[in-house]
Structure 1
Protein backbone atom coordinates (compact mmCIF):
# COMPACT_ATOMS: atom_id res chain seq x y z
CA UNK A 1 0.00 0.00 0.00
CA UNK A 2 2.72 2.59 0.83
CA UNK A 3 4.54 1.79 -2.41
CA UNK A 4 1.30 2.12 -4.42
CA UNK A 5 0.54 5.53 -2.91
CA UNK A 6 4.07 6.80 -3.52
CA UNK A 7 4.21 5.54 -7.11
CA UNK A 8 0.73 6.94 -7.89
CA UNK A 9 1.69 10.29 -6.38
CA UNK A 10 4.92 10.53 -8.37
CA UNK A 11 3.03 9.60 -11.56
CA UNK A 12 0.46 12.37 -11.02
CA UNK A 13 3.18 14.92 -10.24
CA UNK A 14 5.05 14.07 -13.47
CA UNK A 15 1.83 14.09 -15.50
CA UNK A 16 0.80 17.46 -14.09
CA UNK A 17 4.29 18.84 -14.68
CA UNK A 18 4.22 17.87 -18.36
CA UNK A 19 0.70 19.21 -18.77
CA UNK A 20 1.67 22.51 -17.16
CA UNK A 21 4.75 22.86 -19.38
CA UNK A 22 2.69 22.30 -22.54
CA UNK A 23 -0.01 24.74 -21.38
CA UNK A 24 2.60 27.42 -20.58
CA UNK A 25 4.19 27.46 -24.04
CA UNK A 26 2.33 30.69 -24.96
CA UNK A 27 3.44 32.53 -21.79
CA UNK A 28 6.50 34.79 -21.63
CA UNK A 29 9.78 32.95 -21.88
CA UNK A 30 10.64 33.29 -18.15
CA UNK A 31 7.32 31.84 -17.05
CA UNK A 32 7.61 29.11 -19.65
CA UNK A 33 11.10 28.11 -18.40
CA UNK A 34 9.83 28.14 -14.82
CA UNK A 35 7.05 25.72 -15.79
CA UNK A 36 9.58 23.42 -17.46
CA UNK A 37 12.37 23.51 -14.85
CA UNK A 38 10.54 24.09 -11.55
CA UNK A 39 6.84 23.42 -12.01
CA UNK A 40 6.22 22.74 -8.26
CA UNK A 41 7.08 26.39 -7.56
CA UNK A 42 4.06 27.46 -9.56
CA UNK A 43 1.81 25.90 -6.90
CA UNK A 44 2.42 28.92 -4.65
CA UNK A 45 2.34 31.55 -7.40
CA UNK A 46 -0.85 33.30 -8.40
CA UNK A 47 -1.83 35.66 -11.19
CA UNK A 48 0.91 34.54 -13.58
CA UNK A 49 -1.38 32.80 -16.06
CA UNK A 50 -0.51 29.18 -15.27
CA UNK A 51 -3.25 26.61 -15.96
CA UNK A 52 -5.23 25.51 -12.89
CA UNK A 53 -5.93 21.84 -13.60
CA UNK A 54 -2.29 20.75 -14.10
CA UNK A 55 -1.42 22.37 -10.80
CA UNK A 56 -4.32 20.63 -9.04
CA UNK A 57 -3.05 17.37 -10.49
CA UNK A 58 0.40 18.00 -9.01
CA UNK A 59 -1.11 18.89 -5.63
CA UNK A 60 -3.04 15.62 -5.62
CA UNK A 61 0.09 13.66 -6.51
CA UNK A 62 2.08 15.43 -3.80
CA UNK A 63 -0.54 14.55 -1.17
CA UNK A 64 -0.59 10.90 -2.25
CA UNK A 65 3.20 10.65 -2.14
CA UNK A 66 3.35 12.21 1.34
CA UNK A 67 0.62 9.86 2.59
CA UNK A 68 2.53 6.87 1.23
CA UNK A 69 5.76 8.04 2.86
CA UNK A 70 4.02 8.51 6.23
CA UNK A 71 2.51 5.03 5.99
CA UNK A 72 5.89 3.54 5.04
CA UNK A 73 7.56 5.21 8.02
CA UNK A 74 4.96 3.71 10.34
CA UNK A 75 4.92 0.17 8.91
CA UNK A 76 8.54 -0.23 7.71
CA UNK A 77 10.69 2.34 9.52
CA UNK A 78 13.96 0.71 8.51
CA UNK A 79 13.00 0.85 4.82
CA UNK A 80 11.96 4.49 5.23
CA UNK A 81 15.38 5.33 6.66
CA UNK A 82 17.03 3.54 3.73
CA UNK A 83 15.05 5.63 1.23
CA UNK A 84 16.00 8.86 3.00
CA UNK A 85 19.64 7.76 2.83
CA UNK A 86 19.35 7.22 -0.94
CA UNK A 87 19.33 3.39 -0.77
CA UNK A 88 16.60 2.81 -3.36
CA UNK A 89 17.37 -0.82 -4.12
CA UNK A 90 15.35 -3.38 -2.22
CA UNK A 91 17.38 -4.98 0.58
CA UNK A 92 18.67 -8.45 -0.24
CA UNK A 93 18.05 -11.35 2.10
CA UNK A 94 21.66 -12.17 2.91
CA UNK A 95 21.21 -13.64 6.36
CA UNK A 96 24.05 -15.53 8.01
CA UNK A 97 21.88 -18.40 9.27
CA UNK A 98 20.65 -16.82 12.52
CA UNK A 99 17.22 -15.25 12.78
CA UNK A 100 14.29 -14.72 15.12
CA UNK A 101 13.14 -11.64 17.02
CA UNK A 102 15.04 -9.01 18.96
CA UNK A 103 12.93 -6.93 21.36
CA UNK A 104 9.80 -7.74 19.37
CA UNK A 105 11.32 -6.82 15.98
CA UNK A 106 12.23 -9.32 13.22
CA UNK A 107 15.97 -9.97 13.34
CA UNK A 108 17.84 -11.34 10.33
CA UNK A 109 21.51 -10.45 10.91
CA UNK A 110 23.95 -10.07 8.05
CA UNK A 111 27.28 -10.01 9.89
CA UNK A 112 28.88 -11.87 12.77
CA UNK A 113 32.38 -11.11 14.00
CA UNK A 114 34.59 -10.76 17.07
CA UNK A 115 35.40 -7.35 18.52
CA UNK A 116 38.00 -8.18 21.14
CA UNK A 117 36.23 -10.54 23.55
CA UNK A 118 32.79 -9.47 22.32
CA UNK A 119 30.81 -11.55 19.85
CA UNK A 120 28.84 -9.09 17.67
CA UNK A 121 25.83 -10.01 15.50
CA UNK A 122 24.48 -7.14 13.36
CA UNK A 123 21.65 -6.40 10.96
CA UNK A 124 21.68 -3.51 8.49
CA UNK A 125 24.45 -1.70 6.62
CA UNK A 126 27.65 -1.18 8.61
CA UNK A 127 27.22 2.60 8.61
CA UNK A 128 23.60 2.37 9.84
CA UNK A 129 23.09 -0.70 12.03
CA UNK A 130 19.39 -1.36 12.64
CA UNK A 131 19.61 -4.13 15.25
CA UNK A 132 22.50 -5.82 17.01
CA UNK A 133 23.27 -8.39 19.70
CA UNK A 134 26.59 -8.34 21.52
CA UNK A 135 27.67 -11.23 23.79
CA UNK A 136 30.39 -10.00 26.13
CA UNK A 137 32.71 -12.73 27.38
CA UNK A 138 35.11 -12.66 30.30
CA UNK A 139 37.61 -15.40 29.34
CA UNK A 140 38.96 -15.62 32.90
CA UNK A 141 35.54 -16.59 34.27
CA UNK A 142 34.65 -19.22 31.67
CA UNK A 143 34.71 -22.89 32.53
CA UNK A 144 38.06 -24.29 31.46
CA UNK A 145 38.22 -26.94 28.79
CA UNK A 146 34.90 -26.38 27.03
CA UNK A 147 33.62 -24.58 23.98
CA UNK A 148 29.99 -24.96 25.08
CA UNK A 149 27.96 -22.53 27.16
CA UNK A 150 24.57 -23.55 28.56
CA UNK A 151 22.83 -21.12 30.87
CA UNK A 152 19.33 -21.23 32.34
CA UNK A 153 17.53 -18.46 34.29
CA UNK A 154 18.59 -18.58 37.90
CA UNK A 155 22.02 -20.11 37.28
CA UNK A 156 24.64 -18.54 39.49
CA UNK A 157 28.19 -17.73 38.53
CA UNK A 158 29.93 -15.51 36.01
CA UNK A 159 28.12 -15.64 32.67
CA UNK A 160 28.38 -13.52 29.51
CA UNK A 161 26.63 -10.16 29.53
CA UNK A 162 24.21 -9.42 26.68
CA UNK A 163 23.88 -6.05 24.99
CA UNK A 164 20.84 -5.52 22.75
CA UNK A 165 20.61 -2.51 20.44
CA UNK A 166 17.81 -1.54 18.05
CA UNK A 167 16.67 1.40 15.95
CA UNK A 168 13.04 1.31 14.80
CA UNK A 169 12.83 4.50 12.76
CA UNK A 170 14.12 7.97 11.99
CA UNK A 171 11.66 9.57 14.41
CA UNK A 172 12.43 7.33 17.40
CA UNK A 173 15.38 7.14 19.74
CA UNK A 174 17.69 4.09 19.49
CA UNK A 175 17.11 1.44 22.14
CA UNK A 176 19.73 -0.14 24.39
CA UNK A 177 19.30 -2.97 26.89
CA UNK A 178 21.92 -4.70 29.03
CA UNK A 179 21.06 -8.16 30.34
CA UNK A 180 23.19 -9.93 32.95
CA UNK A 181 20.68 -12.49 34.28
CA UNK A 182 17.29 -14.09 33.67
CA UNK A 183 18.03 -15.35 30.18
CA UNK A 184 18.45 -18.73 28.51
CA UNK A 185 21.56 -19.09 26.35
CA UNK A 186 23.04 -22.04 24.50
CA UNK A 187 26.29 -21.47 22.60
CA UNK A 188 28.43 -24.07 20.87
CA UNK A 189 31.71 -23.23 19.15
CA UNK A 190 32.71 -26.00 16.73
CA UNK A 191 36.08 -25.75 14.90
CA UNK A 192 35.61 -25.84 11.13
CA UNK A 193 38.84 -25.14 9.23
CA UNK A 194 41.84 -23.05 10.16
CA UNK A 195 40.65 -20.23 12.40
CA UNK A 196 37.04 -20.58 11.23
CA UNK A 197 34.43 -21.77 13.70
CA UNK A 198 30.80 -22.79 13.44
CA UNK A 199 28.57 -21.13 16.03
CA UNK A 200 25.33 -22.74 17.16
CA UNK A 201 23.16 -20.24 19.03
CA UNK A 202 19.88 -20.25 20.93
CA UNK A 203 18.90 -17.24 23.05
CA UNK A 204 15.63 -16.59 24.86
CA UNK A 205 14.75 -13.54 26.96
CA UNK A 206 11.41 -13.85 28.77
CA UNK A 207 10.89 -10.10 28.62
CA UNK A 208 8.19 -8.06 26.90
CA UNK A 209 8.66 -7.58 24.02
CA UNK A 210 10.35 -10.96 23.81
CA UNK A 211 13.66 -11.92 22.24
CA UNK A 212 14.23 -15.34 20.67
CA UNK A 213 17.22 -16.09 18.42
CA UNK A 214 18.38 -19.40 17.00
CA UNK A 215 20.46 -20.84 14.17
CA UNK A 216 24.01 -21.52 13.03
CA UNK A 217 26.63 -19.20 11.57
CA UNK A 218 30.25 -19.37 10.50
CA UNK A 219 32.83 -17.04 12.11
CA UNK A 220 36.06 -16.49 10.18
CA UNK A 221 38.26 -15.48 13.11
CA UNK A 222 38.61 -16.91 16.61
CA UNK A 223 40.05 -15.23 19.73
CA UNK A 224 43.18 -16.83 21.14
CA UNK A 225 41.49 -17.72 24.43
CA UNK A 226 38.75 -19.65 22.60
CA UNK A 227 41.07 -21.25 20.04
CA UNK A 228 43.19 -22.66 22.87
CA UNK A 229 40.30 -24.51 24.50
CA UNK A 230 40.25 -28.25 23.80
CA UNK A 231 37.21 -29.99 22.41
CA UNK A 232 35.02 -31.56 25.11
CA UNK A 233 35.07 -35.32 25.22
CA UNK A 234 31.89 -36.88 23.88
CA UNK A 235 30.61 -39.78 25.92
CA UNK A 236 28.88 -42.53 23.97
CA UNK A 237 25.12 -42.61 24.20
CA UNK A 238 23.71 -45.40 26.30
CA UNK A 239 22.39 -48.33 24.31
CA UNK A 240 18.72 -49.28 24.77
CA UNK A 241 18.01 -52.24 27.02
CA UNK A 242 16.10 -55.21 25.62
CA UNK A 243 12.36 -54.70 25.57
CA UNK A 244 11.86 -57.78 27.70
CA UNK A 245 13.83 -56.15 30.52
CA UNK A 246 11.93 -52.86 30.47
CA UNK A 247 8.45 -54.15 31.23
CA UNK A 248 9.44 -56.20 34.33
CA UNK A 249 11.35 -53.21 35.66
CA UNK A 250 8.22 -51.11 35.44
CA UNK A 251 6.18 -53.83 37.17
CA UNK A 252 8.66 -54.06 40.04
CA UNK A 253 8.60 -50.28 40.47
CA UNK A 254 4.83 -49.66 40.66
CA UNK A 255 5.18 -47.85 43.94
CA UNK A 256 8.43 -46.07 43.06
CA UNK A 257 9.29 -45.88 39.35
CA UNK A 258 12.98 -46.31 38.58
CA UNK A 259 15.17 -44.53 36.05
CA UNK A 260 16.00 -46.67 32.99
CA UNK A 261 18.52 -46.03 30.26
CA UNK A 262 17.20 -45.53 26.72
CA UNK A 263 18.80 -44.42 23.49
CA UNK A 264 18.16 -41.10 21.86
CA UNK A 265 17.33 -42.92 18.63
CA UNK A 266 14.50 -44.76 20.36
CA UNK A 267 12.99 -41.47 21.56
CA UNK A 268 13.29 -39.87 18.12
CA UNK A 269 11.91 -42.83 16.18
CA UNK A 270 9.01 -43.64 18.52
CA UNK A 271 8.24 -40.45 20.47
CA UNK A 272 4.67 -41.57 21.23
CA UNK A 273 6.11 -44.11 23.70
CA UNK A 274 7.85 -41.39 25.70
CA UNK A 275 5.57 -38.34 25.47
CA UNK A 276 4.54 -37.32 28.99
CA UNK A 277 7.27 -39.38 30.68
CA UNK A 278 9.97 -37.95 32.91
CA UNK A 279 13.35 -37.73 31.18
CA UNK A 280 16.74 -36.77 32.44
CA UNK A 281 20.04 -36.56 30.65
CA UNK A 282 23.48 -35.08 30.76
CA UNK A 283 24.70 -32.90 27.91
CA UNK A 284 28.19 -32.86 26.47
CA UNK A 285 29.20 -30.03 28.80
CA UNK A 286 28.34 -32.19 31.82
CA UNK A 287 25.14 -30.42 32.87
CA UNK A 288 22.08 -32.45 33.87
CA UNK A 289 18.52 -31.64 32.86
CA UNK A 290 15.26 -33.23 33.96
CA UNK A 291 11.68 -32.67 32.89
CA UNK A 292 8.66 -34.10 31.13
CA UNK A 293 8.98 -34.89 27.43
CA UNK A 294 6.46 -32.61 25.73
CA UNK A 295 7.19 -33.26 22.06
CA UNK A 296 9.74 -33.85 19.32
CA UNK A 297 9.71 -30.63 17.28
CA UNK A 298 9.57 -30.43 13.49
CA UNK A 299 13.32 -29.77 13.39
CA UNK A 300 13.93 -32.96 15.46
CA UNK A 301 14.66 -31.25 18.75
CA UNK A 302 13.69 -32.62 22.15
CA UNK A 303 11.15 -30.36 23.88
CA UNK A 304 11.44 -30.76 27.63
CA UNK A 305 8.82 -29.13 29.91
CA UNK A 306 9.75 -27.96 33.42
CA UNK A 307 7.46 -26.43 36.03
CA UNK A 308 8.63 -23.05 37.28
CA UNK A 309 6.23 -22.11 40.04
CA UNK A 310 2.82 -21.53 38.47
CA UNK A 311 4.35 -21.38 34.99
CA UNK A 312 5.71 -24.01 32.63
CA UNK A 313 8.94 -23.45 30.70
CA UNK A 314 9.80 -25.42 27.56
CA UNK A 315 13.42 -26.11 26.63
CA UNK A 316 14.64 -27.35 23.25
CA UNK A 317 17.70 -29.58 22.94
CA UNK A 318 19.53 -30.98 19.96
CA UNK A 319 19.85 -34.79 19.90
CA UNK A 320 23.62 -34.46 19.43
CA UNK A 321 23.83 -32.70 22.82
CA UNK A 322 22.24 -35.56 24.71
CA UNK A 323 24.41 -38.03 26.65
CA UNK A 324 23.27 -40.75 29.07
CA UNK A 325 19.51 -40.44 28.48
CA UNK A 326 17.17 -41.97 31.07
CA UNK A 327 13.39 -42.28 31.42
CA UNK A 328 11.21 -42.83 34.47
CA UNK A 329 7.88 -44.30 33.47
CA UNK A 330 4.80 -43.19 35.34
CA UNK A 331 2.89 -45.78 37.29
CA UNK A 332 -0.09 -47.28 35.45
CA UNK A 333 -2.18 -47.32 38.63
Structure 2
Protein backbone atom coordinates (compact mmCIF):
# COMPACT_ATOMS: atom_id res chain seq x y z
CA UNK A 1 0.00 0.00 0.00
CA UNK A 2 2.79 2.42 0.92
CA UNK A 3 4.67 1.73 -2.31
CA UNK A 4 1.47 2.20 -4.34
CA UNK A 5 0.81 5.59 -2.75
CA UNK A 6 4.36 6.77 -3.40
CA UNK A 7 4.26 5.52 -7.00
CA UNK A 8 0.86 7.08 -7.72
CA UNK A 9 1.99 10.35 -6.14
CA UNK A 10 5.14 10.39 -8.27
CA UNK A 11 3.11 9.81 -11.45
CA UNK A 12 0.67 12.63 -10.59
CA UNK A 13 3.58 14.93 -9.75
CA UNK A 14 5.28 14.29 -13.10
CA UNK A 15 2.04 14.70 -15.07
CA UNK A 16 1.16 17.95 -13.30
CA UNK A 17 4.72 19.27 -13.77
CA UNK A 18 4.72 18.57 -17.52
CA UNK A 19 1.21 20.01 -17.92
CA UNK A 20 2.20 23.16 -16.04
CA UNK A 21 5.32 23.72 -18.18
CA UNK A 22 3.33 23.29 -21.41
CA UNK A 23 0.66 25.71 -20.14
CA UNK A 24 3.32 28.26 -19.13
CA UNK A 25 4.72 28.53 -22.67
CA UNK A 26 2.17 31.26 -23.46
CA UNK A 27 3.38 33.23 -20.44
CA UNK A 28 6.63 35.17 -20.18
CA UNK A 29 9.99 33.39 -20.48
CA UNK A 30 10.72 33.99 -16.82
CA UNK A 31 7.47 32.40 -15.64
CA UNK A 32 7.96 29.43 -17.96
CA UNK A 33 11.48 28.82 -16.59
CA UNK A 34 10.13 29.12 -13.05
CA UNK A 35 7.51 26.45 -13.84
CA UNK A 36 10.16 24.25 -15.47
CA UNK A 37 12.67 24.43 -12.62
CA UNK A 38 10.45 24.80 -9.56
CA UNK A 39 6.92 23.75 -10.43
CA UNK A 40 5.93 22.83 -6.81
CA UNK A 41 6.70 26.40 -5.73
CA UNK A 42 3.96 27.70 -8.03
CA UNK A 43 1.53 26.37 -5.42
CA UNK A 44 2.65 29.23 -3.19
CA UNK A 45 2.09 32.06 -5.68
CA UNK A 46 -1.15 33.60 -6.94
CA UNK A 47 -2.06 35.87 -9.80
CA UNK A 48 0.87 34.87 -12.03
CA UNK A 49 -1.26 33.25 -14.74
CA UNK A 50 -0.53 29.63 -13.90
CA UNK A 51 -3.57 27.35 -14.56
CA UNK A 52 -5.34 25.63 -11.65
CA UNK A 53 -5.64 22.01 -12.86
CA UNK A 54 -1.93 21.30 -13.40
CA UNK A 55 -1.16 22.73 -9.97
CA UNK A 56 -3.94 20.58 -8.48
CA UNK A 57 -2.23 17.49 -9.93
CA UNK A 58 1.04 18.69 -8.42
CA UNK A 59 -0.63 19.04 -5.03
CA UNK A 60 -2.23 15.60 -5.21
CA UNK A 61 1.10 14.06 -6.23
CA UNK A 62 2.96 15.68 -3.34
CA UNK A 63 0.26 14.60 -0.86
CA UNK A 64 0.39 11.01 -2.17
CA UNK A 65 4.18 10.86 -1.80
CA UNK A 66 4.09 12.34 1.72
CA UNK A 67 1.27 10.02 2.84
CA UNK A 68 3.02 6.96 1.44
CA UNK A 69 6.35 7.95 3.00
CA UNK A 70 4.65 8.51 6.38
CA UNK A 71 3.08 5.07 6.36
CA UNK A 72 6.35 3.51 5.19
CA UNK A 73 8.16 5.16 8.10
CA UNK A 74 5.60 3.82 10.58
CA UNK A 75 5.62 0.24 9.26
CA UNK A 76 9.03 -0.21 7.64
CA UNK A 77 11.41 2.63 8.59
CA UNK A 78 14.46 0.74 7.32
CA UNK A 79 12.88 0.61 3.85
CA UNK A 80 12.43 4.36 3.89
CA UNK A 81 16.06 4.79 4.92
CA UNK A 82 17.15 2.62 2.00
CA UNK A 83 14.88 4.56 -0.37
CA UNK A 84 16.18 7.96 0.73
CA UNK A 85 19.82 6.81 0.67
CA UNK A 86 19.54 5.29 -2.81
CA UNK A 87 20.18 1.73 -1.58
CA UNK A 88 16.77 0.38 -2.58
CA UNK A 89 18.10 -1.22 -5.76
CA UNK A 90 20.77 -3.11 -3.84
CA UNK A 91 18.22 -4.27 -1.30
CA UNK A 92 15.90 -5.58 -4.01
CA UNK A 93 18.74 -7.50 -5.62
CA UNK A 94 19.78 -9.09 -2.32
CA UNK A 95 16.21 -10.12 -1.55
CA UNK A 96 15.79 -11.97 -4.85
CA UNK A 97 17.62 -15.07 -3.55
CA UNK A 98 15.62 -15.42 -0.33
CA UNK A 99 12.26 -13.82 0.24
CA UNK A 100 8.89 -14.36 1.81
CA UNK A 101 6.33 -12.84 4.17
CA UNK A 102 5.66 -12.88 7.91
CA UNK A 103 2.03 -12.35 8.89
CA UNK A 104 1.45 -10.67 5.54
CA UNK A 105 4.44 -8.32 5.80
CA UNK A 106 7.25 -8.57 3.19
CA UNK A 107 10.21 -10.47 4.65
CA UNK A 108 13.72 -10.33 3.12
CA UNK A 109 16.20 -11.73 5.69
CA UNK A 110 19.55 -9.96 5.88
CA UNK A 111 21.16 -12.34 8.41
CA UNK A 112 20.96 -16.14 8.62
CA UNK A 113 22.67 -17.74 11.63
CA UNK A 114 22.58 -20.91 13.76
CA UNK A 115 22.27 -20.23 17.46
CA UNK A 116 22.62 -23.50 19.28
CA UNK A 117 19.80 -25.64 17.87
CA UNK A 118 17.96 -22.67 16.31
CA UNK A 119 18.09 -21.52 12.68
CA UNK A 120 17.39 -17.76 12.75
CA UNK A 121 16.42 -15.45 9.89
CA UNK A 122 16.51 -11.71 10.72
CA UNK A 123 15.67 -8.52 8.86
CA UNK A 124 16.65 -5.01 9.89
CA UNK A 125 19.60 -3.49 11.77
CA UNK A 126 21.36 -5.76 14.24
CA UNK A 127 20.35 -3.51 17.14
CA UNK A 128 16.72 -3.20 16.00
CA UNK A 129 15.39 -6.36 14.38
CA UNK A 130 12.25 -5.57 12.39
CA UNK A 131 11.15 -9.10 11.50
CA UNK A 132 12.53 -12.52 12.41
CA UNK A 133 11.71 -16.17 11.85
CA UNK A 134 13.28 -18.82 14.10
CA UNK A 135 13.18 -22.58 13.50
CA UNK A 136 13.86 -24.38 16.78
CA UNK A 137 15.04 -28.01 16.52
CA UNK A 138 15.36 -28.57 20.27
CA UNK A 139 12.38 -30.96 20.33
CA UNK A 140 13.17 -32.50 16.92
CA UNK A 141 16.92 -33.11 16.99
CA UNK A 142 16.58 -36.42 15.12
CA UNK A 143 15.75 -34.45 11.96
CA UNK A 144 19.25 -32.95 12.01
CA UNK A 145 20.76 -36.38 11.35
CA UNK A 146 19.19 -36.57 7.89
CA UNK A 147 20.79 -35.02 4.76
CA UNK A 148 17.50 -33.25 3.95
CA UNK A 149 14.95 -32.11 6.52
CA UNK A 150 11.41 -32.65 5.28
CA UNK A 151 8.15 -32.06 7.15
CA UNK A 152 4.65 -32.16 5.67
CA UNK A 153 1.38 -31.35 7.46
CA UNK A 154 0.40 -35.03 7.44
CA UNK A 155 3.68 -36.27 8.99
CA UNK A 156 3.80 -37.79 12.45
CA UNK A 157 6.60 -37.40 14.96
CA UNK A 158 8.44 -34.41 16.39
CA UNK A 159 8.12 -30.99 14.75
CA UNK A 160 10.51 -28.03 14.95
CA UNK A 161 8.91 -25.04 16.64
CA UNK A 162 8.53 -21.86 14.58
CA UNK A 163 8.78 -18.42 16.22
CA UNK A 164 7.41 -15.51 14.16
CA UNK A 165 8.29 -11.93 15.15
CA UNK A 166 7.16 -8.84 13.31
CA UNK A 167 6.74 -5.10 13.84
CA UNK A 168 3.37 -3.51 13.18
CA UNK A 169 4.16 0.18 13.68
CA UNK A 170 6.01 2.79 15.67
CA UNK A 171 3.27 2.99 18.30
CA UNK A 172 2.44 -0.74 18.44
CA UNK A 173 4.02 -3.58 20.35
CA UNK A 174 5.95 -6.19 18.31
CA UNK A 175 3.95 -9.24 17.25
CA UNK A 176 4.93 -12.73 18.38
CA UNK A 177 3.46 -16.07 17.29
CA UNK A 178 4.50 -19.71 17.85
CA UNK A 179 3.65 -22.50 15.43
CA UNK A 180 4.34 -26.10 16.44
CA UNK A 181 2.95 -28.17 13.53
CA UNK A 182 0.82 -28.21 10.39
CA UNK A 183 3.27 -26.44 8.06
CA UNK A 184 5.50 -27.58 5.18
CA UNK A 185 9.30 -27.42 5.51
CA UNK A 186 12.11 -28.50 3.20
CA UNK A 187 15.64 -27.64 4.32
CA UNK A 188 18.69 -28.89 2.43
CA UNK A 189 22.21 -27.94 3.53
CA UNK A 190 25.31 -28.99 1.59
CA UNK A 191 28.59 -30.07 3.19
CA UNK A 192 30.70 -27.16 4.50
CA UNK A 193 33.24 -25.72 2.05
CA UNK A 194 35.96 -23.54 3.58
CA UNK A 195 33.76 -23.16 6.63
CA UNK A 196 30.77 -21.84 4.65
CA UNK A 197 27.50 -23.68 4.11
CA UNK A 198 25.03 -23.23 1.26
CA UNK A 199 21.56 -24.65 0.92
CA UNK A 200 17.92 -24.01 0.13
CA UNK A 201 14.77 -23.63 2.20
CA UNK A 202 11.07 -23.83 1.35
CA UNK A 203 8.71 -23.03 4.22
CA UNK A 204 4.95 -22.56 3.92
CA UNK A 205 2.57 -22.04 6.81
CA UNK A 206 -1.24 -22.38 6.74
CA UNK A 207 -3.08 -19.50 5.08
CA UNK A 208 -4.18 -17.95 8.38
CA UNK A 209 -0.55 -17.05 9.15
CA UNK A 210 0.21 -15.43 5.74
CA UNK A 211 3.81 -16.60 6.18
CA UNK A 212 6.23 -18.27 3.77
CA UNK A 213 9.96 -18.26 3.02
CA UNK A 214 11.78 -19.70 0.03
CA UNK A 215 15.13 -19.40 -1.72
CA UNK A 216 18.86 -19.99 -1.36
CA UNK A 217 20.56 -19.58 2.01
CA UNK A 218 24.22 -19.21 2.97
CA UNK A 219 25.80 -19.58 6.40
CA UNK A 220 29.19 -18.04 7.20
CA UNK A 221 29.98 -20.91 9.60
CA UNK A 222 28.89 -24.54 9.86
CA UNK A 223 26.79 -25.50 12.92
CA UNK A 224 28.27 -28.12 15.25
CA UNK A 225 25.57 -30.70 14.44
CA UNK A 226 26.34 -30.48 10.71
CA UNK A 227 30.07 -30.93 11.30
CA UNK A 228 29.33 -34.00 13.44
CA UNK A 229 26.99 -35.44 10.81
CA UNK A 230 29.58 -35.01 8.05
CA UNK A 231 32.23 -36.65 10.22
CA UNK A 232 29.95 -39.62 10.94
CA UNK A 233 29.15 -40.05 7.25
CA UNK A 234 32.86 -39.99 6.39
CA UNK A 235 33.60 -42.65 9.04
CA UNK A 236 30.81 -44.86 7.69
CA UNK A 237 32.17 -44.55 4.16
CA UNK A 238 35.65 -45.41 5.41
CA UNK A 239 34.34 -48.45 7.27
CA UNK A 240 32.46 -49.67 4.20
CA UNK A 241 35.67 -49.31 2.20
CA UNK A 242 37.60 -51.32 4.79
CA UNK A 243 34.95 -54.04 4.82
CA UNK A 244 35.10 -54.26 1.02
CA UNK A 245 38.89 -54.51 1.14
CA UNK A 246 38.71 -57.22 3.82
CA UNK A 247 36.13 -59.17 1.81
CA UNK A 248 38.40 -59.00 -1.24
CA UNK A 249 41.34 -60.15 0.84
CA UNK A 250 39.31 -62.98 2.30
CA UNK A 251 38.20 -64.04 -1.17
CA UNK A 252 41.85 -64.16 -2.26
CA UNK A 253 42.85 -66.23 0.74
CA UNK A 254 40.02 -68.68 0.11
CA UNK A 255 41.75 -69.64 -3.12
CA UNK A 256 44.81 -70.81 -1.15
CA UNK A 257 44.03 -73.78 1.13
CA UNK A 258 43.89 -74.28 4.03
CA UNK A 259 42.63 -70.71 4.55
CA UNK A 260 38.96 -71.49 3.89
CA UNK A 261 35.64 -70.78 5.51
CA UNK A 262 33.86 -73.58 7.36
CA UNK A 263 30.16 -73.38 8.13
CA UNK A 264 29.23 -73.63 11.79
CA UNK A 265 26.11 -75.07 13.34
CA UNK A 266 23.85 -72.46 14.88
CA UNK A 267 22.71 -75.07 17.41
CA UNK A 268 26.34 -75.66 18.42
CA UNK A 269 26.82 -71.91 18.83
CA UNK A 270 23.77 -71.71 21.05
CA UNK A 271 24.73 -74.75 23.16
CA UNK A 272 28.44 -74.03 23.63
CA UNK A 273 29.21 -70.44 22.59
CA UNK A 274 32.40 -70.37 24.70
CA UNK A 275 34.06 -72.80 22.26
CA UNK A 276 33.84 -70.23 19.46
CA UNK A 277 34.51 -67.06 21.48
CA UNK A 278 37.17 -64.93 19.77
CA UNK A 279 36.84 -66.70 16.42
CA UNK A 280 36.77 -64.67 13.24
CA UNK A 281 33.45 -65.41 11.56
CA UNK A 282 31.48 -64.47 8.50
CA UNK A 283 27.74 -64.10 9.12
CA UNK A 284 25.11 -64.07 6.36
CA UNK A 285 21.53 -62.96 7.02
CA UNK A 286 18.39 -64.10 5.23
CA UNK A 287 18.24 -60.66 3.58
CA UNK A 288 21.55 -61.48 1.85
CA UNK A 289 23.82 -59.12 3.79
CA UNK A 290 27.23 -60.36 4.94
CA UNK A 291 29.05 -59.21 8.07
CA UNK A 292 32.64 -59.95 9.09
CA UNK A 293 33.82 -59.76 12.67
CA UNK A 294 34.86 -61.50 15.86
CA UNK A 295 32.33 -63.68 17.63
CA UNK A 296 32.13 -62.64 21.27
CA UNK A 297 29.23 -64.36 22.98
CA UNK A 298 25.48 -64.73 23.17
CA UNK A 299 23.53 -62.00 24.91
CA UNK A 300 20.96 -62.64 27.62
CA UNK A 301 18.29 -62.41 24.90
CA UNK A 302 20.04 -65.24 22.95
CA UNK A 303 21.33 -62.85 20.32
CA UNK A 304 24.66 -63.45 18.59
CA UNK A 305 27.13 -60.62 19.29
CA UNK A 306 29.64 -59.78 16.53
CA UNK A 307 32.43 -57.28 17.24
CA UNK A 308 33.82 -55.01 14.49
CA UNK A 309 36.68 -52.52 14.64
CA UNK A 310 35.89 -49.00 13.42
CA UNK A 311 38.95 -46.83 13.54
CA UNK A 312 40.14 -46.54 17.15
CA UNK A 313 36.76 -47.80 18.42
CA UNK A 314 34.93 -51.12 18.44
CA UNK A 315 31.23 -51.62 17.86
CA UNK A 316 29.01 -54.62 18.60
CA UNK A 317 26.33 -55.91 16.23
CA UNK A 318 23.50 -58.03 17.68
CA UNK A 319 21.72 -60.62 15.49
CA UNK A 320 18.59 -62.60 16.26
CA UNK A 321 19.06 -66.29 15.48
CA UNK A 322 16.00 -66.33 13.23
CA UNK A 323 17.61 -63.63 11.04
CA UNK A 324 20.80 -65.64 10.44
CA UNK A 325 21.04 -67.88 7.38
CA UNK A 326 24.53 -69.22 8.10
CA UNK A 327 27.67 -68.57 10.11
CA UNK A 328 31.14 -69.50 8.84
CA UNK A 329 34.51 -69.58 10.62
CA UNK A 330 38.04 -69.61 9.29
CA UNK A 331 39.45 -73.11 9.51
CA UNK A 332 42.93 -71.74 10.25
CA UNK A 333 41.80 -70.19 13.55
> TM-score by structure 2 length?
0.46
Q: Which has the higher contact order (CA 8 A, sep 6+)?
A: 1
> TM-score by structure 1 length?
0.46
Structure with greater proportional helix content? 2
**Bigger Rg, structure 1 or 2:** 2
